A and B are shown apart, each in its own frame.
Chain A
Amino acid sequence: MRMAQRFSARWQGNPLLLGSLAFILIVTLGALLAPLLSPYAPGGFDEKRILENPGWDHWLGTDELGRDLLTRILYGARVSMVVGFGTALIALLIGTIYGSISGYAGGALDNLLMRIVDIFYGLPDLLIFILLSLLLGRNIAGILIALALVTWVRFARITRGQVLQAKELIYVDGAKAIGASHVRIILRHILPNILAPILVTLTFSVPAAILAESTLSFIGLGINDPYSAWGTSWGTLAQDGWRAMRTYPHIIFFPALAIFLTILAFNFLGNGLRDILDPKAR
């Protein structure tokens, strides 16, 4: 594991990378352990304690229905994390397979496949995403698939480019010479050697998905499932706060901060990973 060694040698000099990793870990744990961490239910109305400022009982205050804001943010982290990681992983799967085939096959097939990618790539993500979510429904699964269908082209492009280079290398010729199958060559000989850029793309795809989901939820086109046991999207929480911003700015402040810091942490992580894995890129 040379990658792991390089990683452990470099992280010490990069406090931003460490801090980001720690923050992501905290958010993930908070999402997983939300019911244990909070004495309140995410939908627990309390008509006696509405619109409270941050205080001892409610660390981040309450909203217009007396729901504890911290609890709602913790449960909301589940939505963001599932959407972020889920999208990135599905997109990774589709994109790398597509890109590998395109790059490995080359020629007319490559040309055709990349034309399709170009069309997807040129259109605004949010536009395709909104149109797709009409079809797939505005629940977590629908949003996840819609986002993945937008994100996979990044992986397809990067994988194809890398495969194009890697397939010319001498050890691939060697593998061909001893009669390895195409699938085996791609899986055993090419993919392991192009993991680094794919991993960096993966890291940047998570915050992009979180950003898109929270934005859509904010403008009212995101997840529309008020009775979800999952929790409410941070974007929806921010939307709730937006309407009361004039008088109760704390209700928008904390969800917005959660969104911003989480996206920031993933982007710093991506930057750090890129510096470590690909020292030439600046």
Chain B
Amino acid sequence: MARFLVKRIVHGLAVLWVVITLTFILLRITPGGPFDRERRLPPEVMANIEAKYHLDEPWLKQYGRYLRGILEGDLGPSYKYLDRNVSDIIADTFPTSALLGILALSFALIFSLPVGLCAAATRNRWADRGCVFLATLGISLPNFILGAVLIWFFSLKLGWFQAGRWGQLSSVVLPMITLGAASFAYLSYLLRSALLETLSEDFIRTARAKGLREINVLFKHALRNSFIPVLTVLGPLFAALVTGSFVVEYVFAIPGMGRFFITAVADRDYPLIMGVTLVYTTVLVCANLLVDLLYSLVDPRIKTH
């Protein structure tokens, strides 16, 4: 177990390093700089700015400086927000994004369970088809469109929820649904397929043959064995939620990290872009590690080495 853990952590760190390095190179070879304006700045001013941010140094030295900064928890200054550095901005905005992501994932997990169960277990052709139809619908609906529709209907027409004004309970509901909808659809579909497969296995027939109530067969025997495929996609799904939050935070004017990422890209605020990318990658690496550990909890047959 310990060896497995160490191996996964080393692998995660390698991924992080590759991403940092690639992003660093990418942003250096990108044409156009953060301080390009409509009117050219005088060369002396430009030189001073570059000296302040160490942009006049060779790349390798900048790279070394950046890596050292990461180890010390310093992600550098923001080019755009002069009074705050990148670490501050991330510390301010990350909790909001994380909360939204966790809420959306919980929403998707909780609601996909009954839908998947209903489709697979009732042995009703229409329930099953309905589930597949719903899943396709959910995957096809871009979250910016769903967000717009929800705001238009619930906020503008009915006045139930407030759009914007992040912080009140009522303003959290619509973004949560918007962000979680596609995952909900996908998870329902996945759970249905996994359940259909498990339900055709021998041990289910045995369980039924020995006279277990159907509800026990479903919950004790079938469901637990159908969680593996769901777990497998939780990593990528988390990635989808993370990037989905760029859009959802934009649509609902939520002061999270995703919205800062979008403006950072538009402003070419390189340290902020790198910082946010780094945080996302770290979150993903941790999520994947957690999923790996959960495997052995759900299915002890999977050995962790």
The residues of A with any CB-CB pair to B shorter than 8 Å are: 119, 121-127, 130-132, 134-135, 207, 211, 214-215, 218-221, 235, 238, 242, 245-246, 249, 252, 256, 259-260, 263-264, 267-268, 271, 282
Contact = CB atoms under 8 A, between A and B. Distances in A.
B266 A124 contact: no
B30 A245 contact: no
B236 interface: yes
Interface in B256-274: 261-262, 265-266, 268, 273
Contact of A122 (B26, B27, B151, B236): B236
B99 interface: no
B136 interface: yes
Residue from B29, B142, B156, B273 having most chain A Cβ neighbours under 10 A = B142
A46 to B, nearest CB: 26
B188 to A, nearest CB: 14
B26 A214 contact: no
Interface of B: 15, 18-19, 23, 26-27, 29-31, 132, 136-137, 139-145, 148-149, 151-152, 156, 193, 196-197, 235-236, 239-240, 242-243, 246-247, 250-251, 261-262, 265-266, 268, 273, 277, 280-281, 284-285, 288
B29 A219 contact: no
Nearest to A130: B265
Given A123-B19, A124-B243, A245-B152, 15 more contacts: A122-B236, A123-B281, A131-B277, A134-B26, A134-B30, A134-B265, A135-B26, A211-B142, A215-B144, A218-B144, A220-B266, A245-B148, A260-B140, A260-B145, A264-B140
23 contacts: A121-B236, A122-B239, A123-B284, A126-B243, A130-B261, A131-B273, A131-B277, A134-B26, A134-B30, A135-B30, A214-B142, A215-B247, A218-B144, A219-B247, A219-B250, A220-B262, A235-B144, A245-B152, A252-B148, A256-B148, A260-B142, A263-B141, A267-B140
Contacts of B29: 135
Given A131-B26, A134-B265, A218-B144, A125 B243 contact: yes
Contacts of B273: 131
Contacts of A245: 148, 151-152, 156
A246 B196 CA distance: 45
Given A134-B26, A263-B140, A282 B193 contact: yes
Contacts of B143: 215
A259 B142 contact: yes
Nearest to B244: A126
Nearest to B262: A219
B15 to A, nearest CB: 6
Given A215-B144, A256-B148, A260-B141, A246 B246 contact: no
Nearest to A241: B148
B140 A122 contact: no
B136 A124 contact: no
Contact of B262 (A132, A221, A256, A263): A221
Contacts of B277: 127, 131
Contacts of B288: 122
Nearest to B145: A256
B244 to A, nearest CB: 8
B105 to A, nearest CB: 14
A125 B242 CA distance: 10
Contacts of A218: 142, 144, 247
A135 B266 CA distance: 13
Nearest to A266: B140
B284 A238 contact: no
B209 to A, nearest CB: 24
Contacts of B268: 134
Contact of A259 (B27, B145, B149): B145
A123 B236 CA distance: 8
Contacts of B27: 131, 134
Given A121-B236, A221-B266, A271 B152 contact: no
A218 B261 CA distance: 15
Nearest to A256: B145
A118 B267 CA distance: 30
Q: Which 7 A-B pairs have the closest CB atoms?
A: A126-B243, A124-B243, A264-B140, A124-B239, A263-B140, A256-B145, A135-B30
Nearest to B151: A245
Given A221-B265, A268-B136, A271-B136, A124 B280 contact: yes
Contacts of A246: 156
Nearest to A242: B148
B19 A119 contact: yes
Contacts of A249: 152
A125 B19 CA distance: 13
B249 to A, nearest CB: 10
B140 A207 contact: yes
B234 to A, nearest CB: 12
B136 A267 contact: yes
Contacts of A263: 140-142
A215 B178 CA distance: 14
A235 B251 CA distance: 13
Contacts of A134: 26-27, 30, 265, 268
A163 to B, nearest CB: 22
